[in-house]
Amino acid sequence: MIIPHPLLGPCDAQEFTYLGDASLIARPDGMAEGAADAFYDYLYLRDNPAGLHRELWYHEQGDRSWLVVTRNTLTHEIVTVELARDVARAEGRGR
Amino acid sequence: MRLQQGGQIDRGQKISFRFDGQYYKGHPGDTLASALLANGVRLMGRSFKYHRPRGVLAAGSEEPNALVELRTGGRQEPNTRATMVELFDGLQAMPQNAWPSLRFDALAINDRFSNFLTAGFYYKTFMWPAAFWEKLYEPIIRRAAGLGSITTQPDPDAYDKGYLHCDLLVIGAGPSGLMAALTAGRAGARVILADEDFRMGGRLNADRQSIADMAGADWAAQAVAELAQMPHVRLMPRCTVFGAFDHGIYGAVERVSDHLLTPQPGKPRQTLWRIYSKRALVCAGAIERPIAFANNDRPGIMLAGALRAYANRWAVSPAQDVAIFTNNDDGHRTAADLMALGVHVAAVIDTRPDAPPLAGTAVLAGAQVTDSAGRLGVRAVTVRLANGQSRKLAVGALGVTGGWNPNLGLTCHQRGRPVWEEGIAAFIPGAALAPGMAVAGAAMGHFSTHAALATGAEAARAALADLGHSAPAPDLPRTEDAPTRITPFWHVAGTQRAWLDFQNDVTIKDVKLAHQEGFEAVEHLKRYTTLGMATDQGKTANLGGLAVMAELTGQSIAQTGTTMFRPPYTPVALGALAGRSSGRDFRPTRLTPSHHWAREQGAVFVEAGLWLRAQYYPRAGESHWRESVDREVLATRASVGVCDVTTLGKVDVQGRDAAEFLNRIYCNGMAKLAVGRVRYGLMLREDGIVFDDGTAARLAEDHFVVTTTTANAVAVFRHMEFARQCLWPDLDVQLISTTEAWAQFALAGPKSRAVLERLVDGGVDLSNAGFPFMACAELTICNGCRARLFRISFSGELAYELAVPARYGDALIRKIMEVGAEYDITPYGTEALGVMRIEKGHAAGGELNGTTTARNLGLGRMVSTAKDSIGAVLSRREGLVAPEGLELVGLRPANPQSQIPAGAHLLAQGAALVAANDLGHVTASCYSPNLGSYIALGFVKNGAARMGETLRAASPLTGVDLEVQITSPHFYDPEGERLRA
């Protein structure tokens, strides 16, 4: 596969490490009420779509960017690639 | 026999080769198959199951029968298709699957028992008793079956990997591929043209029709010459594109040296190419299919197109008298070509009642071949005429054609689904191809030469237009444009032992049996009968099998469907996939900064991940590793030792929020760590299990240095980057991995301070008060060399770790040894390191194995509840904090000289050795020279509450079963007075 890195252009998937569902960005607050249940959902309950899937890839043999790659799991077509940092900020994560 | 004239061979040169012990001669341009046929050898092997005599069926990579063991010694290669072996001087090949000889094969007796050896035979027969499988059935079956044998000697040749990029990859250099490459190449596009053959041209080399008033082969040679002049076109003969992968990436194997006796110096045998293409054009041609009839597998019976190819390209015919069995016009072309070359065609047996006539021979319209005769090769065939009468034809060869199948392989690798095309009675690639892929010529079902040229040119222009280039339409040279006329005919009725899959010995009877037993779906049919398996993947067999199944189920072939093709298109040697990653280059070897020095000391090394670390340093007179290790431990604890600890992962953490960041990464508090101090830190995974441990040293308000275990250095850094970028993107923190940047040495033992004082530049107070336990500093040593000093201890002694830029590591170890000589400084390796950490009860790999919690390790109170950190919440899950949890303990044997095997299970005294009684297990074990006893660490349920109890430690693996007493894991200096001294 070739992943179009938003900063570096097309890169071979061999340069990357795969982590999994991009919902891992949405880490719950560990100090909040009901944190145990929230973490259970966060860690163990994932969708396994046949189709578009947002997932985390790490450019380990490159610039160390974490990317959110939207990939069709049926065709491996890559629809969008974003810096995970930008996605995290857009989802309201900050400090 | 070799024909008097013609052929693309160099008759002026002779090359000698050996097959089955006999010497033969051939010419440059020959394949092993063509040279054997030229020498009158029709019998080339025995079949897989029934050991029936077999000869060559095809002329290309689809060959199912003529498999040989090529070369000898470490270069011996089984299952090599004689049709693909380019003849070279000194070639040696042996037939496979025959014993004691090819002409007399003892296991041909299987053929007599064929009634028993039908599909599913193994499944049904060898089911019981189960214990007989491994010892009796399997060895017998393995000896009898199988295809060739592999050498046990190492392969002496090198294999390479390479990467190529192009605008247009053209796969196959037949008429459509050549025309596509010419069209794109003339327009200036970067083109790669790959073909599995050593001579480009595809069917143009095998047929007699002309292009632009010259022989097809000459036109092909002219096209290749023009392409070779284009600097942006890369011609790759002997290169099989074996797989279509994601995003326009294709895998290819180039047989760089397979046509030579041995590779030229410095050249690989094969190169595995990864081709990145913007567009790809499959011009892979078509593969002919046989018609099944009784005993249709005798040597001399082959595909008609192959018979034609041998005659035209190699000037070879298996016999002077031949016949053709066909259901289409292409069979007539074969007959015409053969007659033009002086071969006698006894008859064309055409299943079509309305078959056209052919000048020079009898066309038996509406006739069928019903049987063949001849012990080791065909001597005669029986023909049933349209009027029902039988006639025998004495022929030494029979060319069979049931039509042509577009070569679908690559078009299916990316979810492509073939569709049935009634007009040619074959599957063609479906509309949904891999992005960027197109198909032209016969591979798309366009069988005439004109159509191949036209679609090749058109597809190349379309691909270039897609990329924003334009290519002018070429003037297509004049050539034949015959329509495809075929009446589907798959098998002669009324026969059982008619072969569909030659390689796997699958007959019509087997397909009927599969149907009878409910294995009707194509994928079931394949697995039940082995139709289409093994090295040829049914290239000539699949459709015949499907057609028979379709008849049995009353469905059309389109409804029946076809099995999928997956990579590789043809077998790929593991050596090619491995490339240079074999032997010591299987993976990189990382050397520590003191490696060369340690080697000079005679150190014994051990692999730790990719690293080589000194395991121990034997001295003269020491005959057992334990002697060396005991000495290193005792000397360190008595005076001072030094150990290279560079392999521990190091991460520089900088930024205003560095402390806050680490406070969330580690489960224990890091926010309030004072500048100039170090703290032990425990990292959890988000699921609450311990991930890694190490130290965090605060060099400045906004600057930490974090260490990780050697094994987890990469994973921890990745995890920290994840947290930094994905979880808290606005924390002001930066990370750099500095594992390789700093050489780091542990100085341990009561005299370590004295040694250090001789290294550190003046003005630094190293006294216990001035630089206490868990202090750290940036300073200089040896007159100005930048260094970092940490007072931390894994050994339990007064100890320091001293780091310098990696390039000074070698100089520093030598300097340390020089200034430490006064105190008999002793270098120690990983074994002594391990002994000392077990004596101190420090957790390491055996305990931090990805299943243990902080509580298991006795560190439960480190997990702060006052803050959120990764893993903190789920570390408090019910299951992880339940009573009866495992706790780290020390273990001592009743007899101090009894070794406790690591991995031994712990049970109550007298308890039976069953899993239900398991109380825990031993994680690490060593001999402690300080205690004069074997000791161990282990996890025991409620261990802390069981101090003093005696348990049974049993290791069924080693046969050891002994009594051990539970103690504190801190065997040595439990109060930690030595490390604070």
What confidence category does residue B260 fall into, taking pLDDT thresholds of 50, 70 and 90?
very high
**Which of B59, B43, B685 has the alpha carbon at shortest distance from B313?**
B59
Asked if A75 lies within 8 A of B415 by C-beta distance, the reply is yes
Q: Which residue of A has its CA nearest to B732?
A: A95
In a domain? residue B10:
no
Q: B455 and B379 share a domain?
A: no
Evaluate if residue B131 carries a pLDDT over 90.
no
Q: B631 and B553 share a domain?
A: no
Q: B632 and B665 share a domain?
A: no
In a domain? residue A50:
yes
| Of the partner residues B435, B872, B874, the one whose CB lies closest to the CB of residue A43 | B874
Q: Which two tokens stand for residue B220?
A: 């092909």
pLDDT of the residue at B124:
66
What confidence category does residue B917 fall into, taking pLDDT thresholds of 50, 70 and 90?
very high
Q: What is the mean pLDDT of residues B488-500?
A: 92
Q: What is the mean pLDDT of chain B?
A: 95
Q: B302 and B282 share a domain?
A: no
- What is the C-alpha to C-alpha distance for residues B234 and B238, in angstroms, rounded to an integer? 13
Burial class (CB in 10 A: 0-12, 13-18, 19+), B643: buried
> B727 to chain A nearest CA, in Å?
6
- What is the C-alpha to C-alpha distance for residues B396 and B383, in angstroms, rounded to an integer? 15
For the segment B661-697, what is each residue's pLDDT rounded down to a tens digit?
A: 999 999 999 999 999 999 999 999 999 999 999 999 9
In a domain? residue B583:
no
Residue type, B296: N
- What is the C-alpha to C-alpha distance for residues B356 and B916, in angstroms, rounded to an integer? 82
Residues 6+ apart with CB under 8 A from B127: none
In a domain? residue B194:
yes
How many C-beta atoms surround the C-beta of residue B173 within 10 A? 31
In a domain? residue B584:
no
In sequence order, what are the beta bridge partners of B501? B506
Q: Count of residues for chain B?
A: 981
- What is the C-alpha to C-alpha distance for residues B925 and B936, in angstroms, rounded to an integer? 4
Q: What is the mean pLDDT of chain A?
A: 97
pLDDT of the residue at B129:
66
- Residue to mutate among B413, B716, B725, with most A CBs inside 10 A, is B725
Query: How many domains is chain A built from?
Result: 1
Q: How far is CA B214 from CA B174, B180, B209, B221, B682, in A?
A: 16, 20, 9, 11, 79
Evaluate if residue A95 carries a pLDDT over 80.
yes
For the segment B860-900, what is each residue's pLDDT rounded down to a tens digit?
A: 999 999 999 999 999 999 999 988 899 999 999 999 999 99
Evaluate if residue A25 carries a pLDDT over 80.
yes
Which helix (H) or strand (E) segment holds residue B225: the answer is helix B216-228
Q: B717 and B859 share a domain?
A: no
Asked if A88 lies within 8 A of B725 by C-beta distance, the reply is yes
- What is the C-alpha to C-alpha distance for residues B285 and B971, in angstroms, rounded to an integer? 75
- Residue to mutate among A17, A57, A64, A91, with most B CBs inside 10 A, is A64
Q: Print burial letters for B555-568: b (CB count within 10 Å at least 16), e (below 16).
A: eebeebbbbebebb
Q: B639 and B603 share a domain?
A: yes
For the segment A29-44, what is each residue's pLDDT rounded down to a tens digit?
A: 999 999 999 999 999 9
Contacts of A87 in chain B (CB under 8 A): 726
**Is B849 strand, coil or helix?**
coil
CATH code: domain of residue B804: 3.30.1360.120
Q: Which residue of B has its CA nearest to A44?
A: B687
| Of the partner residues B247, B714, B876, the one whose CB lies closest to the CB of residue A1 | B247
Q: At what angle do helices B175-186 and B216-228 cross, to 10 degrees?
A: 30
Evaluate if residue B236 carries a pLDDT over 70.
yes
For the segment B816-861, what is each residue's pLDDT rounded down to a tens digit?
A: 999 999 999 999 999 999 999 999 999 998 999 999 999 999 999 9
Asked if B246 lies within 8 A of A76 by C-beta distance, the reply is yes
Asked if B538 and B531 count as a contact pair (C-beta separation under 8 A), the reply is yes
Asked if B729 lies within 8 A of A56 by C-beta distance, the reply is no
pLDDT of the residue at B145:
60
In a domain? residue A33:
yes
For the segment B568-577, what is each residue's pLDDT rounded down to a tens digit?
A: 999 999 999 9
CA angle, corner B383, sides to B328 and B299, nearest 5?
A: 80
Residue with tokens 């034949």: B480
Evaluate if residue B910 carries a pLDDT over 70.
yes
Asked if B157 and B145 count as a contact pair (C-beta separation under 8 A), the reply is no
Q: B165 and B228 share a domain?
A: yes
Evaluate if residue B810 carries a pLDDT over 80.
yes
Q: B324 and B389 share a domain?
A: yes
CATH code: domain of residue A84: 3.30.2270.10
- What is the C-alpha to C-alpha distance for residues B172 and B196, in angstroms, rounded to an integer? 7
> B247 to chain A nearest CA, in Å?
6
pLDDT of the residue at B150:
84
Q: Which two tokens stand for residue B920?
A: 């825990």
Sheet containing strand B67-70, edge to edge, reads B22-26, B15-19, B91-95, B67-70, B77-81
In sequence order, what are the beta bridge partners of B827? B642
Q: Which two tokens stand for residue B168?
A: 């247009």
Find the range with the poorest average confidence among B112-121, B190-199, B471-480. Answer: B112-121
| Of the partner residues B722, B728, B872, the one whose CB lies closest to the CB of residue A30 | B872
In a domain? residue B539:
yes
Which position has the higher pLDDT, B148 or B329?
B329
Query: How many domains is chain B built from?
Result: 7
| Of the partner residues A17, A30, A83, the one whose CB lies closest to the CB of residue B873 | A30
Evaluate if residue B341 carries a pLDDT over 70.
yes
Q: B844 and B754 share a domain?
A: no
**Which of B22, B21, B41 has the alpha carbon at shortest distance from B31?**
B41
pLDDT of the residue at B884:
87
Which helix (H) or strand (E) segment holds residue B814: the answer is helix B809-820
pLDDT of the residue at B126:
61
CATH code: domain of residue B53: 3.10.20.440
Q: B549 and B526 share a domain?
A: yes
Q: Which two tokens stand for residue A86?
A: 């930008």
Evaluate if residue B102 carries a pLDDT over 90.
no
Evaluate if residue B564 carries a pLDDT over 90.
no
Residue A21 domain boundaries: 2-90
- What is the C-alpha to C-alpha distance for residues B676 and B684, in angstroms, rounded to an integer? 25
| Of the partner residues B725, B730, B872, the one whose CB lies closest to the CB of residue A84 | B725
Helices and strands (DSSP H and E) totals, chain A: 2, 6
Residue B76 domain boundaries: 15-113
| Of the partner residues A56, A84, A95, the one whose CB lies closest to the CB of residue B731 | A95
Asked if A65 lies within 8 A of B725 by C-beta distance, the reply is yes
pLDDT above 70 coverage of chain B, percent: 97
**Which of A36, A59, A48, A91 has the alpha carbon at shortest distance from B874?**
A36
The alpha carbon of B473 is separated from its chain's Cα centroid by a whole number of angstroms, namely: 42
Q: B710 and B752 share a domain?
A: no
For the segment B293-318, what is each residue's pLDDT rounded down to a tens digit?
A: 999 999 999 999 999 999 999 999 99
Q: B959 and B857 share a domain?
A: yes
**Pairs of CB atoms within 8 A across A/B:** 84
Q: What was the ipTM of the complex prediction?
A: 0.99
End-to-end CA, chain A: 34
Asked if B882 and B852 count as a contact pair (C-beta separation under 8 A), the reply is no
Residue A22 DSSP symbol: G
Contacts of B727 in chain A (CB under 8 A): 25, 27, 88, 93
In a domain? residue A95:
no
Q: Which two tokens stand for residue B853?
A: 């919690």
CATH code: domain of residue B453: 3.50.50.60
Asked if B593 and B810 count as a contact pair (C-beta separation under 8 A), the reply is yes
CATH code: domain of residue B720: 3.30.70.1400
pLDDT of the residue at B123:
64
Asked if B248 lies within 8 A of A2 by C-beta distance, the reply is yes
